[in-house]
Amino acid sequence: MARGIRIVGGGLAGLSLGVALRSRGVPVELWEAGALPRHRVCGEFISGVRPATLEFLGIADLLADAHRHETVVWYRGDGHRCYRARLPRPALGISRHALDERIARRLEDLGGGVRREERWRGSLDEPGSVLGTGRKAERGSPWIGLKVHAEAPREHREGDLALFLGEGGYLGMSAVEGGWWNACGLFRKRPGVRASKEALLGRYAEASGIEALAGDRFPAVRAGSGVGVSALSFALPAPSRDGLLRLGDAWGLIPPFTGNGMSIAFESAEIAVLPLLRWAAGEEEWARVVTAIEEAHQRRFRRRFQVARILHGWLLSPRRQRWLLAGARTGLLPFRRLFAWTHD
């Protein structure tokens, strides 16, 4: 009988790890503090994940009907189209509402325990405990992330991903299932901006100079889909010294414009599977497993985080945006190389 794994956190890292371990015979108990399914702040644009990773985790079929996004179009805040590029690898479009639930059901079907709406409050450093608890909250962080499902304005449906650049913020829009588009933005907090959950994204877009999606520019908004998150930290993940095993955003949150955070959550689970199988079989000490997984994370993701952090600064400053867009227009922007550096 294999030793069991306790997974704390039912986001993509925790759920996909659970499926991968359970399908290889390991007992799995997963705790998720929130409801499943639910709307989450996420661009719902999965960029960079390799089919082999999804196959290895045992969830590729769950994404078979996702949109295949092949192009990205950049807009200035006033709606002027500045750049259009083909993605080196197609991205996938599916809502977290649908995807998280599909993976949770797969885990349950395989005999794994999924404790919905139950926060784990026990110790996190017992051998066999994996933290897929999501981003570390940073007090005083200047950022707010907002998302809503909406009908896209007709004039901005020409690319698979529409990225609007504003002042101290940006907003991405791409299709998910059911005819809806996911609109999701990261903005510098503006305490004076208030509205209902569904209207807040439009208000923030307006206040951040993205007039093209200001206020009521969305023809329709999906009821109940408006969510927000703050206390976001984009610090470079430092090597963990506390002996805890962290995956996905709990290890590090990459700036969202890359669309690579969900891929990192899947890859993070992929990295952890074989070492955890060795521990479950009693072949490896826990401390060595944690070290091996941490080192593999640093090797696989460090450059992505470093390059993404630099580009993030450029996307958020109007002056540097102008340089970026000029580079894009004149063909000097090495889009494919930057894609590789932030995805591979």
Ligand X SMILES: Cc1cc2nc3c(=O)[nH]c(=O)nc-3n(C[C@H](O)[C@H](O)[C@H](O)COP(=O)(O)OP(=O)(O)OC[C@H]3O[C@@H](n4cnc5c(N)ncnc54)[C@H](O)[C@@H]3O)c2cc1C
Figure out which of the listed residues 53, 260, 321, 342 binds ligand X, where binding follows CB under 6 A.
Answer: 260
Is residue 12 near ligand X by the rule CB under 6 A? yes
Site for ligand X in 170-229 (CB under 6 A): 184, 186, 229
Q: How far is the CB of 281 from ligand X (least distance, A)?
A: 25
Figure out which of the listed residues 58, 77, 132, 226 binds ligand X, where binding follows CB under 6 A.
Answer: 132
11/112 with CB nearer ligand X: 11
The stretch among 31-39, 53-61, 194-202, 288-296 that binds ligand X (CB under 6 A) is 31-39
Kindly state the number of chain residues that form the binding site for ligand X, as judged by CB under 6 A.
Answer: 37
Tell me the three state secondary structure of residue 113: strand
43/275 with CB nearer ligand X: 43
Locus of tokens 């977290």: 96
The stretch among 55-63, 216-224, 248-256, 306-314 that binds ligand X (CB under 6 A) is 248-256
Are the beta carbons of 276 and 26 closer than 8 angstroms?
yes
Locus of tokens 């956190």: 9
Q: Read off the tokens for 320.
A: 């540097």
Q: Which of 16, 81, 99, 15 is nearest to 54 (CA)?
A: 16
Figure out which of the listed residues 175, 232, 276, 307 binds ligand X, where binding follows CB under 6 A.
Answer: 232
Are the beta carbons of 256 and 40 closer than 8 angstroms?
no
Is residue 32 near ligand X by the rule CB under 6 A? yes
From residue 85, alpha-carbon distances to 62, 152, 176, 317 in Å are 28, 20, 20, 21
Figure out which of the listed residues 5, 7, 13, 114 binds ligand X, where binding follows CB under 6 A.
Answer: 13
242/331 with CB nearer ligand X: 242
From residue 49, alpha-carbon distances to 52, 68, 177, 337 in Å are 9, 12, 19, 17
Strand arrangement of the beta sheet that strand 169-175 belongs to:
45-46, 81-93, 67-76, 161-165, 169-175, 181-188, 143-150, 227-230
Residues contributing to the site for ligand X (CB under 6 A): 8-14, 31-34, 41-46, 119-120, 132-134, 145, 184, 186, 229, 232, 248-250, 256, 259-263, 265
